[in-house]
Structure 1
Amino acid sequence: MPGSIHYPPVLSLLSEARLSAVPALFGLQSDMEKYGFCIWQQHAAASLYPLVQQLELVLRNAIDGTARARFGDYWWDNIRCDATRENAGVFRDNIRKAEKKLRRMWRKAEASRPGLNDLAKVMTQPPPLTHDDIIAATDFHTWEAILVDAWAADTIMEQGDFLWPLSLTKVFRRLDTIDCNPKVARRKLINLINELREYRNRLFHHDCIWIKSRTTDARTAIDSIREKINLMEKVLYAVSPATVAALKKWGVFENARRICSTQELSIYLNHSYPQVQTEELPVFNRYLKPARDGWASATIMVEDKTCVLYRLR
């Protein structure tokens, strides 16, 4: 059991700076609870990864698919941009960075071939970059940058040359859930996507997953995480209601909200929980032997709901 471990040697190898403010904020009383909190935080972050990755993928493919249908494979070179607007060059700069990355990777792969141990010995030119390779090499920021005013027409006569606003409701099928005014909605989406992109970067760099400025205790810390889950759902729904429906059917949102909760945290702090009574064991054993033995999850249907039980420790 967790209480049988001597934790100081374990905690000494974790980040002391990150742990220093946690006990008071989350009401942790012992080294066991500190370590349990660290494990919970990793599980909480892991539960958010599928949502963040779906958001990035769906947004990218929705914009690219719509723009490609209007302007061709290399649409980023064919659409108009108002270079006088703020941040006008960021999107194309990111495309060029993706292209340079692909060429650099190709040269590195070529240099690793037998007899070529030096990049300087690579004489041939890389093959033409495909549309799909370039898009796959872009980062999240690219798809925020394409939403700025520089890529939007100011007049009806110019709309055929610019990506926005003609393609806006093709990319964001439920744009109205953000705002009824398309221009206002697009600008709001920039702010929402920027907020979620920065949060995504924190997750991927193993930073604090709650918002410190909104946090006074465990409940407000966890509420700030759940606010981000709600924002991801909101933006995903604006792009693709079908994706949100699928994620809900697969329990991805519910899983994130379950793990990012005070109830789940209490499990990792090893707080007390009900014991199965002896007379109840035959019923449990019928379904839960794999889970009890610790080698597999036990899946059971409760009415029309799929439930999973597994041995935690």
Structure 2
Amino acid sequence: MSSPRTPTTRVAVTGGSGKLGRAVVRHLAEHGYEVVLLDRVPSPDPVEGVVFVKVDLTDYGQVAQALTSVDDRYDHIDAVVHLGAIPAPGLVPNAALFTNNVTSSYNVFAAARAAKIRNVVWASSETLLGIPFDIDPPYLPLDEEYPVRPESSYSLGKAVEEEMARHFTRWDRQLKLIGLRFSNVMDDGDYSEYPFDETPEKRTFNLFSYIDARDGAQAVRKALESDLVGFEAFIIAASDTVMNTPTAVLAEQYWPQVEKRRAVEGVEPLLSSDKARDLLGFVPEYSWREWGERTGNHRG
């Protein structure tokens, strides 16, 4: 499942100043990695020993240089975690979002290949599953076994990235490109409004799922340390939903006509991370419920 590595493995993290990126940078540093943070802005939560380099990911020359060496900073990169992107639809016009994200990912994939970096993990997205599910999902719980169904310029870009990854790994049979289809990334600052039982319609868009940023970081590390080769995509979601209502009740209420391929127990999610568990050893450790109990804001 995991391959040996030295504690001095140097990993470049693009978008390391964002919500998920900050958690990934800190987690990797705590696990002995040497981290280079590539972003347009420094992290608001800097980690001691992490090198920051300002990079425009839409400029191939800058990306290629950043993944080889930067004078007085470092002389090589061993692996890449690519999180840098406009993170959601609607933040900029559609064409600008698509162009920024797809160009950035192409540049990272191509520059890594040119630098003979064969260990690349990047942020794909749960949106590829058909979010916001204006058309019913094909079955429940959802997994990685059906063709992607992008419904926005953002998810269309992610679909293009996954297709690019297939061909990059076809061109280089030693290359590993793992796309992590993260659910809605959350951290402690988001949990005060949980659960959503009084307003469930706010969370039907992704089947009431989420992922704690710290578990997202764990998934990144497990993917980096995996001995898989080629392209793989994994759903990364928490082990519970954002609700207290039993998941089976919600599934029957909102998607009564959709095939239920197996029973779900309690607040088990409708986005399945079983593949990530089986192939990466990923097991979520954090929940909004633990935050509520710890802070006294638990409402269920």
Going by fraction, where is helix more abundant, 1 or 2?
A: 1
TM-score, normalised relative to structure 1: 0.21
Considering only CA atoms, is the larger Rg found in Structure 1 or Structure 2?
A: 1
TM-score, normalised relative to structure 2: 0.22
Going by fraction, where is strand more abundant, 1 or 2?
A: 2
